[in-house]
Structures are given as C-alpha cells and as structure tokens.
A = this chain, B = another copy of it.
C-alpha cells in the first residue's frame, strides 16, 4: 500500500470530521464515524491524522490472561506497541467494552516515544489524568481503571477490525477532532481531503454571509447567485 502524500495528510489535519463525513456520505459511505469514542482531552490544535495500525482483542479467559503474559514480547499487545510505524495511529478493537481499560500510561508513553501519531480505542483508558498530561492525542471511551486483562486478550496486529462500529482496514486514514473519529478508506483519502478542503473554503465564505444576516435559502446551500459571488470573491483574492 502506497504511503499517503504529505499534502493530503496536511489537508486532513485542518478539515473537520463533520466535513469529512459529509464527503464520504456523498460517495455512499454512511458508516465511517466511530460511535462511543471521544477525545480524552478536548482537541485544540490540528486534527489527529495518520494511517491505521490495528490491534485486535477478544474476550479474556482467566487461565490465559494473567499478568505474566506481559513479559512475553510476542504477546500481540506488546508486539503492536513495539512495531507500529512512526506517524501511524494505533486503533484498538475492544468491542466497545467499558468495564476495563484498554491501555495505560506507560504503554501510551512508549507510543509517544516511538513517534506514533495517536491512539484510538473503543474501550476506556486507565491512568487517564497521566495520559492526558502526556499530550499524545488519545480518543477512547472515557476512563476505567481495571487492567485490560480483565476483559481483553490481544490476538492480532495489522488486520481488519471493527472499532466504534466502523470497519478499519490497516492503512485506512484516521482523522480525529473534537467531534470524534472518522475512518477514510486509504484509496479515497486524497480525493476526500481535497473535496473537504474545497467544501470548507466555500463554507467559510457562506458563514460570513450568514453572520451578516443572510437567510439560509439561496445561501446555504448556495444558489447560482451565491456561487457566482463566491467565485468572484475567490478571484478578487487571487485564488
């Protein structure tokens, strides 16, 4: 799978998940936004953006899922943290289970040291205050203290998974902002990024009109006249 060009990634850092889901919706993709997954810390800077690297968990079994498991470097969870490429986003399938953590502060720190872009899980995290202080973008189902072995056994890395009810294939582009997390199929990322930037540029113009008192009809969505005004405005700015 070819790497995403940096222009696309950069564009995605500055468009909203609202716009992205609209562009995906226009192309027939209706189930792209994760349910029950929110930023641990309200996002203020650019979006979390990066290709997905996945970790799949199944329900734990008491005889297998003991703390000693973590000493095994081949255990999928440990291996995932050590092998995920820099710039990628770790995406965990926790089946939406809220009764135990999916990650803690030391693993999150290790992700940060390794240059990972962020972490997304449809389960909670533990040590939430410590993780929040690290500054790595984390999107999850809130906080829950119990160790992940209480509910999870990690089995696979870099396979297709579900997260927050959305299909995530390795390499799909993850974008997270204050609203939450959207998954963009890898092959559509460049097109969606460009169309989203165009939509937001237009909407910036329309927002000013609305702020100035324009009514919705004719403005949002724009009729021919408004569109012409937009084109003129763009020309006037040399765009």
Interface of A toward B, CB cutoff 8 Å: 16-18, 20-22, 25-33, 35, 38, 42-43, 58-64, 67, 70-71, 73, 78, 81-82, 95, 98-99, 101, 104-107, 109-110, 113, 126-130, 142-147, 149-150, 153, 155-156, 159-162, 165-168, 177-180, 182, 185, 203, 206-207, 210-211, 213, 215-217, 220-221, 223
The chain B residue with its CB closest to the CB of A78 is: B216
Choose among B71, B166, B167 the residue that contacts A221 (Cβ–Cβ < 8 A): B71
CB contacts (< 8 Å) of A203 on chain B: these are 106
CB contacts (< 8 Å) of A167 on chain B: these are 58-61, 64, 153
A127:B16 contact, CB within 8 angstroms: yes
The chain B residue with its CB closest to the CB of A25 is: B147
Choose among B30, B130, B144 the residue that contacts A180 (Cβ–Cβ < 8 A): B144
Q: How far is the CA of A162 from the CA of B21 in the complex (A)?
A: 24
Given A59-B165, A146-B25, answer yes or no on A98-B67 (Cβ-Cβ < 8 Å): no
A113:B211 contact, CB within 8 angstroms: yes
A70:B215 contact, CB within 8 angstroms: no
B21:A145 contact, CB within 8 angstroms: yes
Q: How far is the CA of A104 from the CA of B106 in the complex (A)?
A: 37
Choose among B104, B129, B180 the residue that contacts A177 (Cβ–Cβ < 8 A): B129
B60:A31 contact, CB within 8 angstroms: yes
Choose among B18, B35, B105 the residue that contacts A104 (Cβ–Cβ < 8 A): B18
The quantity of this chain's copies bound in the complex is 6
CB contacts (< 8 Å) of A215 on chain B: these are 82, 110
The 4 closest A-B pairs by CB, nearest first: A73-B217, A18-B126, A17-B145, A129-B178
A216:B179 contact, CB within 8 angstroms: no
| Residue of A28, A38, A81, A160 with most partner-chain B CB within 10 A | A160
Q: How far is the CA of A162 from the CA of B59 in the complex (A)?
A: 6
Given A58-B160, A110-B210, A159-B156, answer yes or no on A21-B216 (Cβ-Cβ < 8 Å): no
Given A28-B63, A70-B221, A159-B155, answer yes or no on A179-B107 (Cβ-Cβ < 8 Å): no
CB contacts (< 8 Å) of A110 on chain B: these are 210, 215-216, 220
A38:B142 contact, CB within 8 angstroms: yes
Q: How far is the CA of A149 from the CA of B42 in the complex (A)?
A: 26
A82:B216 contact, CB within 8 angstroms: yes
CB contacts (< 8 Å) of A82 on chain B: these are 215-217
